[in-house]
Amino acid sequence: MQEIQTAFDSFNPYEFYNSLLKRGMNPGLEGIGALLDELGRPQDGLCFVHIAGTNGKGSTATFLSSILTQAGVKNGLFTSPFVIDRRESIQLNNEMINEAEFKRLSFEIKKAVDRLYNKGIEITEFEAMTAAAIKHFADSECKIAVLEAGMGGRLDATNIIENTAVCVLTSISLDHVDFLGNDVEKIAAEKAGIIKRGSTVITADSQNDSVIDILMEKAKSTPAEMLIVKTVGESNRICYLNANEGIKKSISLSEPLNISNEYQKENAMLAVLAVKVLEGKIGKVPDSDVKAGIEKSFLPARLEVLSEEPFVLIDGGHNEAAIRALLEFIDRNLSFKRLLGLTGMMRDKAYERVAELIGPRFEGIITTTPNNIRALDSATLASVFSEYCDDVTAVPCPADALALALEEQKNYDALIVFGSFYLAGEIRQSLLDAFKD
């Protein structure tokens, strides 16, 4: 007993999860299934909302959780990646898991991971975090558990669940092509793998027609009900098509949703419709709670303005769809401004396409290398951006790159940090400190 206590006292949960990163990604359900079996199958007693997509799934999950919290419905929220603190990924009623519980829970996860390692089963960092979230939600007796899928859907660790009430498919586009396929239809088929028998599937009409067809076919064969939200229209009315019945329906809200941009408006509408579907399990949610929940939602590094004067924005978007959302923001708010960019990206992202899309918008760009084993080196990224911007400087260390950006930003109208949540996590607090006065 003393030996166990000594091990617990010296245990650092952050070091534990970081130590698993070297195992990389391992698509498939065998590892997470074995780990949850070791933990007593906590997933069996929970009701889930499962959210997958290429972009917007974290925002949609956060909107949904915030509405449930506002309505007094005990809920858990699992999202990834975190930006500042690993505990961001595991929340109860929109509050991060506290340090003491995180340590206790993670120590339990570590013991299970060690037992499996002795059996020849290696658990990845994402599998361990997914299991920790599910165990925490079960221990806390959550009414609803909201899970954001990591990569893909069918073989994502979060897809180990069975009791799925609602499946939300946010915007689907090219990403993780080495794992999911090199066209949007293959990626859509992988993400459609979260659809479960008897669930309600929710997506938006902004999806490519081919993606809608794939999702509808999967819902039909499962079978599951499918609702398609109309994203253009009044902000106090959610219009949607019940694809199974071929009937158009709508939900009127007593007050309009207060959303500043179309990208987040779509995610908010998906979340609101999910709440309405859940009312059969959780009871009626007042429109006032819907509105307040949306307005109180916050995700760091999602088109986040850190300072108005000087203007500084940070965004972790790292694929074409996310960059287009950033470009929309720039066109709407900064179209005649001289922009300085600070960027760092992962090797497995479409960095060449990102550079092609957004590089020409900048007068100057500083590239850096985020502290991650998957990071692309700053020199390579600089060479790519140099094709589209005349003034590109590579600074390998993110702290040094930020120092240069802060020095140079006085010569520009705005500083835009973009390209990776890992980079955002490293420098966001430093940026806040620099402009807090």
Burial 40-57 (b: 16+ CB within 10 A, else e): eebbeebbbbbbbbbbbb
Q: How many other C-beta atoms can be found within 10 angstroms of the C-beta atom of residue 262? A: 13
Per-residue pLDDT band at 257 (split at 50, 70, 90): confident
Q: What is the pLDDT of residue 65?
A: 98
Question: How many Å apart are CA 9 and CA 26, to the nearest integer?
Answer: 31
Question: How many Å apart are CA 189 and CA 248, to the nearest integer?
Answer: 25
Tell me the per-residue pLDDT of 317-369, one tens digit each, with 9 for 90 and over.
Answer: 878 888 988 998 999 899 889 999 999 999 888 899 999 999 999 999 999 99
Q: What is the pLDDT of residue 402?
A: 96
Asked whether 136 and 107 are in contact (CB, 8 A), the reply is: no
Instruction: Tell me which residue of 161, 239, 172 sits closest to 195, measured CA to CA.
Output: 161
Asked whether 414 and 339 are in contact (CB, 8 A), the reply is: yes
Q: Where are the CATH 3.90.190.20 domain residues in the chain?
A: 304-435
Per-residue pLDDT band at 437 (split at 50, 70, 90): low
Q: Is 96 exposed, middle or buried (0-12, 13-18, 19+ CB in 10 A)?
A: middle
Asked whether 152 and 193 are in contact (CB, 8 A), the reply is: yes
Burial 6-23 (b: 16+ CB within 10 A, else e): eeeeeeebeebbeebeee
Q: What is the pLDDT of residue 3?
A: 73
Identify the H or E element spanning 245.
Answer: none
2-296 architecture in CATH? 3-Layer(aba) Sandwich (3.40)
Tell me the per-residue pLDDT of 73-113, one tens digit each, with 9 for 90 and over.
Answer: 999 999 998 888 999 999 999 999 999 999 999 999 999 99
Q: What is the percent of the chain with per-residue pLDDT over 90, rounded to a whole number?
A: 77
User: Most confidently modeled of 49-53, 81-85, 231-235?
Assistant: 49-53
Q: Where are the CATH 3.40.1190.10 domain residues in the chain?
A: 2-296
Asked whether 31 and 119 are in contact (CB, 8 A), the reply is: no
Per-residue pLDDT band at 179 (split at 50, 70, 90): very low
Task: Taking residues 53-63, report their average pLDDT.
Answer: 93
Tell me the per-residue pLDDT of 287-321, one tens digit each, with 9 for 90 and over.
Answer: 999 999 999 998 888 889 999 999 999 998 878 88
Could you list the beta-strand ranges (E) of 219-353. Answer: 225-230, 237-242, 247-252, 304-308, 311-315, 339-343
Task: Taking residues 257-275, report their average pLDDT.
Answer: 86
304-435 has which fold? Answer: Protein-Tyrosine Phosphatase; Chain A (3.90.190)
Q: What is the pLDDT of residue 182?
A: 57
Asked whether 238 and 244 are in contact (CB, 8 A), the reply is: no
